């Protein structure tokens, strides 16, 4: 222990100070190189390892960041910045389920750390843990109404839970602070549509559609298609969903929506293969199966319909018996 | 296409009379308050009560009201008058008198729902009260008092696996066409205050989602015709399906002359028990495509009414649900045992997405010949915190435009109609015999509301009171077809099972639009015999007796 303290003290020299300055001024690549040199001298020093991880995170190298934060935690299991860093890296890597225990521990150890709480709130959003995420994010925006990121996460959380009125307010707060947040704009447009404020929604969707970056965004195109579908503009919806499929051909959800639109266009023959593809891509989801059931029944293909009905029955029975969805 | 064809005949969509309701509860002398017994423990039971019945218990030609009520928790005891169920006698002048004590119907235990009908065919309407662990059958003695015959009737049964169960709705039907009304009970979830799950954070308890509870089977009791019932839940197949039963409605959905049963389930698929005509049922909601929303999601089904909405002679299905579920409307295609999901095309998807609807009814409130939709609304308590607004909601009325679409006319339905509250139960009937269907609504921990239908427009109407002889006295299950001189045909059927936990009048109501003559009324009794009446003047309640020439 004494040896470690002495070594650390020796590192409190120009090298570490410089690296910290580079980091604090956003020069992450240079900071990363500097920290890496220091880590070579003290490979197990948690204070250096989490800084290195933070640089990797800022550079978008989330897998590398995860590794460094984990190393830091081996050396010091309850180091809050490493816990939070690991958690945020995992969220960025799409593994928010794995992130939660680290973030929860980080917030417990450093309850006043807003970044940690925000990251935890974000992870709850990703995991659709509404009841856990809502109070954290609500508190963050109450403490600092200028925290646009927390407003956005709160808006997303509420939107995913379909509290569209409240979601719209939160998203609009977020956009006041960060008007360029495209995800918030898409969710806002969808919330307006859900609330039946179609003219406003249409205007926002049309504006967003002119953004070249979004013209290949499956998320945006699907949201737009859903809005058009809701307003029975099936031909327009089909164009959007087909563009989305071009961008993400393996997304089951998109094939389901294409099938649904085609079904409403009375093109059941074309809708069936799309729905079948959606089932093939995501056999665990009920959406396309129910649509297929309906279409097979309408076409008198009762044996194929029965197969889908059996699957849906089994799926629903689990829920009725209290075994969850 | 059928919607459009019918539209040409009635064509009501321009210059239509506005549906309007005045709330007359206070002046009517109704002071009922539904008390759910909540005291901060978040028992699931507290969310669910509020059944109401509209029926004429004393045969004076004026509709009376029965309200169910909660009890103390967790004891499930009616520890005081604040928990009594209440019977209000209509004084035939739109005022009511509380006759609960005299009638002996204050109830016992935690009551949820009510179903009324004349189960013993003695000419007096009886009351079945469904509740948590305790159901009661009150036989109407015909002298203004009732007798608890639950035990004697063989209805005080415990399930071999689940013991006493929690019922949320019930209804009367004649499933085997033997002329006697049988009893269907919709059961919710396994509930025990000692083992109830706790949800939410330690410092902020919440009511749990139904997914946290195991569902229950429903029950069917066959009427033996001697004042007793036989539990045929297993034998009939009804008891083989586990759901989370809420509202129940009856209709012959496939035209085979036998009554089928629709059950709205909470957060699991709906049930459609197809009558196999041999005393058994097949659960066929998936086959009929009425089990789930079009996108494969189960909704938190609440109230249901199964009636012919588009005047094609086939009963359609209307189900209320929770916020973002959207209420569901399924159109009976009449061939291939199949329904089409009309939720979106009807415009109900958009106008109901932000609502949570409990009881519901399909009635022609403006008498234009097209049945409209009513829902008693309120979100679950506490949701307001997340939604950024109160859980109380105004009720909704959706006008049938006659072209397959509905318009939310609630904002124009009068000042009283705009008042938000925790509306739960709702039952329908014409309290002042003016031909306009009125509504009584229960309010969770608040005063009930009696809405008098004051819609203008002068449309004509007809009420058909059925009196069975070989069939059940109320004519429940009978289908009524009304033909107007211009060729328009209107359809409805006799049922008291409407909405959630509630029971409505058995008189079959028709709005006739501007037609001042009814050319023909045809009644098809359960079992297939028919009776026709010709050349009736409208704006009256006609009594049609089975077997009369």
Is the pLDDT at B363 greater than 80? The verdict is yes
Q: What is the pLDDT of residues B408-436, one digit of tens each?
A: 999 999 999 999 999 999 999 999 999 99
> What confidence score (pLDDT) does residue A205 get?
97
> What confidence score (pLDDT) does residue A9 get?
60
> What confidence score (pLDDT) does residue B109 get?
97
Q: Measure A210 CA to nearest chain B CA, in Å.
A: 27
Q: Is the peptide bond before B294 cis (omega within 30 degrees of 0)?
A: no
> What confidence score (pLDDT) does residue B1 get?
41
Banded pLDDT at B193 (limits 50, 70, 90): confident
Q: Calculate the CA dihedral of residues B111, B112, B116, B121 and round it to 10 degrees.
A: -60
Is the pLDDT at A162 greater than 90? The verdict is no
Give the residue from A255, A322, A324 with the most B CB atoms within 10 Å of its CB, the best one to mutate: A322
Q: What is the pLDDT of residues A63-117, one digit of tens each?
A: 999 999 999 999 999 999 999 999 999 999 999 999 999 999 999 999 999 999 9
> What confidence score (pLDDT) does residue A196 get?
87
Residues of chain A neighbouring B411 (CB-CB closer than 8 A):
none
> What confidence score (pLDDT) does residue B6 get?
43
H-run or E-run covering B542? strand B540-545
> What confidence score (pLDDT) does residue B549 get?
63
Average pLDDT over residues B511-519: 96
Q: What is the pLDDT of residues B450-467, one digit of tens each?
A: 999 999 988 999 999 999
B287–A309 CB contact, under 8 Å: yes
Give yes or no for B298 touching A (CB within 8 A). Answer: yes
> What confidence score (pLDDT) does residue B40 get?
87
B353–A312 CB contact, under 8 Å: no
Calculate helix-pair angle for A14-24, A46-58, nearest 10 degrees.
30
Q: Are B461 and B367 spatial neighbours (Cβ–Cβ below 8 Å)?
A: yes
Q: What is the pLDDT of residues B26-45, one digit of tens each?
A: 999 999 999 999 988 889 99
Of B200, B243, B338, Cβ closest to residue A298: B338
Structure tokens at A180: 């360029």
**Domains identified in chain A, total number:** 1
B269–A288 CB contact, under 8 Å: no
Q: Measure B200 CA to nearest chain A CA, in Å.
A: 7
> What confidence score (pLDDT) does residue A15 get?
81
Average pLDDT over residues A162-189: 95
Residues of chain A neighbouring B336 (CB-CB closer than 8 A):
297-298, 300
Question: Closest by alpha carbon to B56, among B30, B91, B5?
Answer: B91
> What confidence score (pLDDT) does residue A240 get?
98
Question: Closest by alpha carbon to B54, among B541, B498, B510, B540?
Answer: B498
Give CA–CA dist A174/A168, Å, rounded: 10
> What confidence score (pLDDT) does residue B8 get?
39
Of A166, A195, A230, Cβ closest to residue B349: A230
Q: Is residue A257 part of a domain?
A: yes
Give yes or no for B286 touching A (CB within 8 A). Answer: yes
Give yes or no for A165 touching B (CB within 8 A). Answer: yes
The pairing of strands B540-545 and B64-67 is unpaired
The pairing of strands B540-545 and B460-467 is parallel
Give CA–CA dist B134/B151, Å, rounded: 11
> What confidence score (pLDDT) does residue B14 get?
46
Q: Is residue A260 part of a domain?
A: yes
Question: Which pTM value belongs to this model?
Answer: 0.91
B199–A131 CB contact, under 8 Å: yes
Q: Measure B294 CA to nearest chain A CA, in Å.
A: 6
Q: Is residue A304 part of a domain?
A: yes
Q: Distances from the Cα of A3 to the Cαs of A50, A75, B182, in angstroms?
A: 20, 15, 86
Of B244, B291, B387, Cβ closest to residue A163: B387
Q: Are B54 and B427 spatial neighbours (Cβ–Cβ below 8 Å)?
A: yes
Give CA–CA dist B370/B489, Å, rounded: 11
> What confidence score (pLDDT) does residue B203 get?
73
Q: Is residue A263 part of a domain?
A: yes
Average pLDDT over residues B518-524: 97
Q: Is residue A56 part of a domain?
A: no
Give CA–CA dist B67/B100, Å, rounded: 10
Residues of chain A neighbouring B354 (CB-CB closer than 8 A):
164-165, 194-196
Banded pLDDT at B152 (limits 50, 70, 90): very high
Give the residue from A162, A194, A237, A319 with the most B CB atoms within 10 Å of its CB, the best one to mutate: A319
Give yes or no for A265 touching B (CB within 8 A). Answer: no
Q: Measure A92 CA to nearest chain B CA, in Å.
A: 27
> What confidence score (pLDDT) does residue B11 get?
43
Q: What is the pLDDT of residues B375-409, one digit of tens each?
A: 999 999 877 777 777 899 999 999 999 999 999 99
> What confidence score (pLDDT) does residue A325 get?
47
Q: What is the pLDDT of residues A209-258, one digit of tens each?
A: 999 999 999 999 999 999 999 999 999 999 999 999 999 999 999 999 99
CB within 8 Å of chain A, chain B residues 385-404: 386-389
Q: Distances from the Cα of B118 to the Cαs of A24, B42, B57, B123, in angstroms?
A: 82, 37, 10, 7
Give yes or no for B351 touching A (CB within 8 A). Answer: yes
Question: Closest by alpha carbon to A50, among A29, A24, A72, A30?
Answer: A72
Give yes or no for A230 touching B (CB within 8 A). Answer: yes
Rounded to an integer, what is the distance from CA A5 to the centroid of its chain?
Answer: 40
> What confidence score (pLDDT) does residue A6 get?
53
User: Lowest-confidence range among A1-5, A133-137, B190-194?
Assistant: A1-5
Q: What is the pLDDT of residues B306-326, one digit of tens each?
A: 999 999 999 999 999 999 899
> What confidence score (pLDDT) does residue B517 get?
96
Q: How many CB pairs under 8 A join A and B?
A: 115
Q: Measure B525 CA to nearest chain A CA, in Å.
A: 31
Q: Is residue A278 part of a domain?
A: yes
Of B213, B294, B338, Cβ closest to residue A291: B294
Give yes or no for A284 touching B (CB within 8 A). Answer: no
Q: Measure A67 CA to nearest chain B CA, in Å.
A: 33
Structure tokens at B353: 């997405």
Give yes or no for B296 touching A (CB within 8 A). Answer: yes
Question: Closest by alpha carbon to B470, among B530, B399, B403?
Answer: B530
Q: Is residue A294 part of a domain?
A: yes
Is the pLDDT at B142 greater than 70? The verdict is yes
Is the pLDDT at B7 greater than 70? The verdict is no
Read off the CATH number of the domain in which A324 is found: 1.25.40.10
**Three-class SS string for B206-258?**
ECCCHHHCCEEECEEEEECCCCCEEECHHHHCHHHCEECEEEEEEECCCCCCC
A289–B269 CB contact, under 8 Å: no
Q: Is residue A255 part of a domain?
A: yes
Question: Closest by alpha carbon to B259, among B178, B170, B155?
Answer: B178
Structure tokens at B199: 């949800």
Instruction: Name the residue range of residue A305's domain.
Output: 219-325
Q: What is the pLDDT of residues B35-85, one digit of tens each?
A: 999 988 889 999 999 999 999 999 999 999 999 999 999 999 999 999 999
Q: DSSP assignment of A75-120, as one string? A: H-TT-HHHHHHHHHHHHHTT-HHHHHHHHHHHHHH-TT-HHHHHHH
């Amino acid at each position: 222990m004494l040896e470690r303290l002495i070594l650390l003290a020796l590192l409190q020299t120009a090298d570490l100070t410089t690296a910290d300055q580079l980091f604090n001024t956003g020069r992450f690549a240079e900071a990363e190189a500097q920290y890496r040199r220091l880590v070579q001298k003290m490979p197990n020093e948690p204070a250096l390892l989490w800084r290195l991880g933070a640089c990797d995170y800022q550079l978008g190298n989330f897998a590398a960041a995860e590794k460094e934060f984990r190393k830091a935690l081996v050396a010091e299991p309850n180091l809050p910045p490493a816990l939070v860093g690991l958690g945020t890296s995992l969220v960025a890597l799409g593994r928010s389920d794995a992130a939660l225990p680290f973030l929860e521990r980080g917030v417990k150890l450093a309850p006043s750390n807003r970044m940690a709480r925000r990251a935890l709130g974000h992870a709850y959003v990703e995991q659709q843990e509404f009841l856990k995420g809502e109070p954290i994010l609500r508190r963050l925006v109450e403490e600092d109404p200028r925290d646009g990121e927390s407003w956005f996460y709160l808006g997303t959380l509420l939107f995913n839970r379909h509290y569209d009125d409240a979601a719209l307010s939160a998203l609009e707060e977020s956009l006041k602070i960060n008007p360029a947040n495209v995800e918030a704009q898409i969710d806002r447009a969808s919330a307006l549509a859900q609330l039946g404020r179609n003219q406003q929604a249409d205007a926002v969707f049309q504006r967003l559609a002119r953004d070249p970056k979004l013209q290949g965004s499956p998320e945006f195109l699907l949201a737009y298609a859903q809005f058009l579908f809701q307003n029975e503009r099936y031909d327009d919806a089909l164009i959007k969903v087909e563009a989305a499929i071009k961008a993400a051909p393996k997304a089951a959800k998109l094939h389901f929506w294409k099938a649904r639109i085609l079904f409403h266009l009375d093109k059941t023959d074309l809708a069936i293969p799309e729905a079948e593809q959606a089932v093939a891509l995501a056999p665990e989801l009920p959406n396309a199966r129910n649509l297929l059931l309906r279409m097979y029944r309408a076409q008198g293909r009762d044996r194929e319909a029965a197969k889908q009905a059996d699957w849906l029955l089994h799926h629903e029975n689990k829920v009725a018996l209290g075994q969850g969805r | 296409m059928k919607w459009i064809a019918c539209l040409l005949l009635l064509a009501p969509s321009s210059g239509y009379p506005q549906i309007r309701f005045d709330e007359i509860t206070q002046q009517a002398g109704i002071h009922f308050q539904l008390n759910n017994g909540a005291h901060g423990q978040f028992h699931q039971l507290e969310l669910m009560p509020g059944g109401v019945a509209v029926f004429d218990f004393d045969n004076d030609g004026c509709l009376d009201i029965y309200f169910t009520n909660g009890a103390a928790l967790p004891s499930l005891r009616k520890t005081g008058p604040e928990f009594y169920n209440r019977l209000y006698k209509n004084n035939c002048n739109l005022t009511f008198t509380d006759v609960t004590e005299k009638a002996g119907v204050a109830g016992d235990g935690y009551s949820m729902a009510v179903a009324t009908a004349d189960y013993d065919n003695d000419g007096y309407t009886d009351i079945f009260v469904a509740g948590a662990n305790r159901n009661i059958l009150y036989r109407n003695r015909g002298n203004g008092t009732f007798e608890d015959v639950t035990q004697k009737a063989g209805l005080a049964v415990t399930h071999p696996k689940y013991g006493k169960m929690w019922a949320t709705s019930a209804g009367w039907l004649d499933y085997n066409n033997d002329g006697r009304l049988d009893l269907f009970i919709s059961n919710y979830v396994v509930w025990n205050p000692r083992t109830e799950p706790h949800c939410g954070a330690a410092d902020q308890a919440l009511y749990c989602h139904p997914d946290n509870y195991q569902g229950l089977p429903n029950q069917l009791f066959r009427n033996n015709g001697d004042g007793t019932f036989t539990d045929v839940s297993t034998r009939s197949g009804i008891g083989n399906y586990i759901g989370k039963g809420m509202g129940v409605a009856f209709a012959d959905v496939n035209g085979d002359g036998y009554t089928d049963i629709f059950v709205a389930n909470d957060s699991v698929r709906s049930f459609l028990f197809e009558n196999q005509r041999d005393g058994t049922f097949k659960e066929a909601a998936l086959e009929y495509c009425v089990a789930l929303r079009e996108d494969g999601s189960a909704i938190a089904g609440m109230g249901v009414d199964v009636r012919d909405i588009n005047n094609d002679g086939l009963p359609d299905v209307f189900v209320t649900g929770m916020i973002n579920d959207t209420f569901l409307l399924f159109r009976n295609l009449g061939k291939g045992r199949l329904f089409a999901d009309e939720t979106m095309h009807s415009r109900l998807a958009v106008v109901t997405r932000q609502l949570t609807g409990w009881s519901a009814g399909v009635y022609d409130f403006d008498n234009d010949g097209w049945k409209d939709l009513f829902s008693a609304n309120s979100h679950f308590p506490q949701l307001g915190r997340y939604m950024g607004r109160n859980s109380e909601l105004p009720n909704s009325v959706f006008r049938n435009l006659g072209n397959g679409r509905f318009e939310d006319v609630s904002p124009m339905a009068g000042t009283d109609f705009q008042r938000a509250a925790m509306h739960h139960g709702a039952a329908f009937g014409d309290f002042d015999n003016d031909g306009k269907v009125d509504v009584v609504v229960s309010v969770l921990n608040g005063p009930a509301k009696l809405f008098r239908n004051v819609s203008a427009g002068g449309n004509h109407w007809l009420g058909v009171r059925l009196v069975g002889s070989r069939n059940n006295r109320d004519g429940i299950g009978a289908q009524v077809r009304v033909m107007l001189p211009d060729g328009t045909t209107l359809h409805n059927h006799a049922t008291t099972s409407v909405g959630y936990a509630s029971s409505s009048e058995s008189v079959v109501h028709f709005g006739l639009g501007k037609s001042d003559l009814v050319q023909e009324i045809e009644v098809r009794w359960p079992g297939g015999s028919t009776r026709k009446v010709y050349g009736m003047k409208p704006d009256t309640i006609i009594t049609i007796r089975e077997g009369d020439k």
